[in-house]
A and B are shown apart, each in its own frame.
Chain A
């Protein structure tokens, strides 16, 4: 089973700042099998990024995904108030399709 380790566990930033979230896989998942999801309290997850770097429909261009192999990054260029939430990475290269433990992005 591929283990995804997200860092940091909690990221405290202010609106307008840049956020960088990391996801590291225990073995290579290639360049096309990594997704990022955003989850707000009491809501289902929402797909942000698929294929490591493609934005899902309706996702603002301040969200950028990058990386390949074992190291992936989600960057939010200028934080908006609605961006403060939980973020999960997920690999779907191998079954079981595993998720990271999440990064909480909170207002500083």
Chain B
């Protein structure tokens, strides 16, 4: 069974960038799409984008298209989500989640990384 372990909490200044990591273990990382989903305090889940670890293809939500970059290091079984030009509204818990092979739903989730943005 795959497990996803994310990097620790971050506190960032407005206008800066944050890079969150998500390390996979226990199963094949390469062929399962890896999604990033965020949740602002008291708010619903919000999908940001995915990456295919096999070839690095990405798909981003239009809302984040200009500010988010999702990458991966296959040798480390790790994916990364970098969000730039941070504003206070980006304060949220950021989750990585692995898509079930051939299905599309997200059956394995990381523990979440809290990102706090302040001036």
CB distance from A97 to the nearest CB of B (A): 4
Assess the A50–B45 pair: CB atoms within 8 A: no
Q: Contacts A96-B61, A99-B45; is A50 near B100 (CB within 8 Å)? A: yes
- Chain A residues near B31 (CB, 8 Å)? none
Assess the A51–B47 pair: CB atoms within 8 A: no
A contact set with B: CB distance below 8 Å: 1, 33, 35, 37, 39, 44-47, 50-51, 56-57, 88, 90, 92, 95-102
Assess the A99–B46 pair: CB atoms within 8 A: yes
Q: Contacts A95-B59, A96-B61; is A45 near B45 (CB within 8 Å)? A: yes
CB distance from A71 to the nearest CB of B (A): 19
Q: Find the B residue at minimum CB distance from A4.
A: B44
B29 at the interface (CB under 8 A from A): no
| Among candidates B45, B63, B105, residue contacting A47 with C-beta atoms closer than 8 Å | B105
CB distance from B48 to the nearest CB of A (A): 9
Q: Find the B residue at minimum CB distance from A57.
A: B107
**26 pairs, A vs B, C-beta closer than 8 Å:** A1-B62, A35-B104, A35-B105, A37-B45, A44-B97, A44-B110, A44-B112, A47-B105, A47-B106, A47-B107, A50-B105, A56-B105, A56-B107, A88-B45, A90-B45, A90-B106, A92-B104, A95-B59, A96-B62, A96-B63, A97-B35, A97-B47, A97-B104, A99-B37, A99-B44, A100-B44
CB distance from B68 to the nearest CB of A (A): 12
Assess the B110–A98 pair: CB atoms within 8 A: no
Q: Which of B62-119 contact A (CB under 8 A)?
A: 62-63, 95, 97, 100, 103-107, 109-112
Q: Indicate the member of B35, B61, B105 with the most A CB atoms within 10 Å.
A: B105
Determine the distance from Cα of A57 to Cα of B46 in the docked complex, in whole angstroms.
Answer: 24
Assess the B44–A101 pair: CB atoms within 8 A: yes
Q: Which of B26-52 contact A (CB under 8 A)?
A: 35, 37, 44-47
